[in-house]
Amino acid sequence: MGVSENNAHYGHRLRVYRKIGDVIYDEVYYLTENGKPVTKKREREIRALAKARDKELLAMQKEYQQEMEAANPIKFHSDGRIVGLTRQQQRNKGRVVDIFKLRIRLPDGSISWGSISIDLHGFDKAFDMALDRIVEVLGINRRTKIYRNMKAAKKAY
């Protein structure tokens, strides 16, 4: 959220608010002392302190997000589907083909594409082949919790 300014009946203040993981940092910097506004010089110092603290918390937040992305390369949609794995129907020479379309973002930022035919392999085998491709490309161990969560996502498709 950053630095916000509030002027309430109990005092003019700056609020620094950031959430990093499960920890919420909510810090208040008052621009009044004993009910009276601070001097302009002191106000600039307080604003500088609040902005510096916000920069520090922002850096911590970005570092945490990078750690989480490195630890968990797979993300899920709210309905349980795997991000980057979609089920599509394509028209090919007048017939409809049911496929799994893969779009896997690699750690270096590039993207790996692919598709697996559900009509050719059957739904269960095609889904397993799609997961195998994701696991192979991202280097995920099949004994991890994330792989079990990916297997459980089959019912969302």
Measured CA to CA, the distance from residue 57 to residue 94 in angstroms comes to: 56
Total domains, the chain: 2
* pLDDT tens-digit readout, 96-116: 989 999 998 887 778 889 999
Parent domain of 105: 85-156
* Domain co-membership, 27 together with 89: no
* Domain co-membership, 62 together with 101: no
The residue-averaged pLDDT of 124-140 equals: 91
Is 142 a residue whose pLDDT tops 70?
yes
* Domain co-membership, 93 together with 150: yes
3 state DSSP class of 121: helix
